[in-house]
Amino acid sequence: MADYPDTRFSVRGAVDHAGRVLLWVAADHPLREALREGRQGDTGPMVGVELSALRRVGRTPTVRARLWCQGRAGAVPARERRGAALAVWERDPDEELLAALGPSPAGPAPLLVRVAPATVLYHTYDAMGVVEGPAYLAARADPLVGPAEDILARVNDRYRDELAAAAAALPGAPRGAAWLWELDSRGATVWVNPVSGADPVLVRVPWSAPASAPCQLERAVFDFLAGGGERAAAAPAEAAAPAEPPAARRGCRRRPRG
């Protein structure tokens, strides 16, 4: 917050469907008081929110990406409060959220706050940069994000041995324990902990054609696990040769049952 430039506050919350930060602010939180004092003005206080996305590598939670969102904070309008509460509930279910659905934010109840992004800074293992608020809000999430996370979780839970073997078959890739780190329509990124004890390595395996449907993405992944890695070139996460078979060359028809 601008009034507390050197102070960090911990706040529960989530991100809504448009990518805006939602904060569930307790009644006695400093941000709650700042909003109460400025609620008659045109704009809310300027805040900076740090978001971290975690991925588990074995039993260890590892930060896969960080976002720093800077913008004006304001109470979520009454007509949108229920949707905001549900978004927070999905990550942090608590019956006290019902108190934030009250008709007026002026009372002592918790408050649902939304941050209108002015600037968004991002930092991942292989990229970093700055996105202006309007461009950030205009962007749309890849529709395969949800299915990709489901596939990734299933592979890391059930097919780690196959993943390690496929990764080891990539020319130049180290041998070691492997986890799917990222998965999208254009390829997969594999996290490898080398048996030599060296630092972890990220290996990017792009598909020869983008996947446009969940079934194509799933087929590409399991083709890779079944031996597609033998025909791919290992490289750092920012570059690699396409893996075969291609993700989108085949259809998604169900096999008839005999």
Domain ranges across the chain: 12-138, 145-231
Q: What is the pLDDT of residues 78-109, one digit of tens each?
A: 889 888 988 888 888 887 777 667 665 555 67
pTM of the shown model: 0.74
Give 98's DSSP letter: G
Is the distance from CB of 203 to CB of 237 less than 8 angstroms? yes
For 4, 24, 127, 201, the CA distances from 51, given in Å and listed in that order, are 19, 14, 16, 24
**Torsions phi, psi for 155 (to 5 deg):** -65, -45
Q: Report pLDDT for 243.
A: 46
Amino acid code (one letter) for 25: V
| CA–CA separation, 28 and 85 (whole Å) | 19
Is the distance from CB of 121 to CB of 129 less than 8 angstroms? yes
Q: Report pLDDT for 149.
A: 95
3-state helix, strand, coil in the chain (%, to 5): 30, 30, 40
Q: Report pLDDT for 180.
A: 96
**Torsions phi, psi for 157 (to 5 deg):** -90, -35
Interhelix angle 160-168/145-158, nearest 10 degrees? 90
Q: Report pLDDT for 5.
A: 60
Q: What is the pLDDT of residues 104-128, one digit of tens each?
A: 555 567 888 999 999 999 998 878 9
3-class state of residue 100 by DSSP: helix
DSSP letters for 47-107? EEEEEEEEEEETTEEEEEEEEEEEEEEEEPPGGGHHHHHHHHHHHS--GGGGGGGSS-TTS
Which tokens go with 197? 């004890």
Q: What tens-digit pLDDT sequence spans the chain (258 residues)?
A: 555 566 677 888 899 888 899 998 887 887 777 776 655 455 678 889 999 988 989 888 899 899 999 999 988 888 898 889 888 888 888 877 776 676 655 556 788 899 999 999 999 887 899 999 999 999 988 899 999 999 999 999 999 999 999 999 988 889 999 999 999 999 999 999 999 999 999 999 999 899 999 999 999 999 999 975 444 433 344 434 444 444 444 456 544 444
| CA–CA separation, 63 and 245 (whole Å) | 31
Q: Which CATH class is domain 12-138?
A: mainly beta
Burial 191-207 (b: 16+ CB within 10 A, else e): bbbeeeeeebbbbbbbb
Task: Look at the domain 145-231 and name its fold.
Answer: Split barrel-like (3.20.180)
